[in-house]
Amino acid sequence: MIRECVLFAAGIYLALTVYQASRVPGTLGESIAVGAILVLGATLYWAREKHLLERGEMLLVWSCILLFLVYTLLTLGGLL
């Protein structure tokens, strides 16, 4: 059940990303990157090996944390 919910949520976010790219053409590169991350994250839950799933989840969690940190530092530094 969780796998299907994750896949459904990724599909909704992917649809929103495509909609945003169609409305604001300047976000096309960002939309492609977000779409790739969503597809990778959603397909990770279909992995059969528990070890692979756990490593993938931890990689995604730490990637998000580091991206928020970089965003915060860039914002505080006045670059964004």
CB 45 within 8 A of CB 7: yes
CA gap 61, 1 in Å, rounded: 21
Other Cβ atoms within 10 Å of 17 Cβ, number: 19
pLDDT at 76: 94
pTM of the model: 0.57
With a CB cutoff of 8 Å and minimum separation 6, the contacts of 31 are 17, 18, 20, 21
CA gap 2, 17 in Å, rounded: 22
CA gap 78, 64 in Å, rounded: 21
**pLDDT tens digits for the chain (80 residues)?**
777 777 788 888 889 888 988 998 888 888 888 888 888 877 777 777 778 778 877 887 898 899 899 999 999 998 87
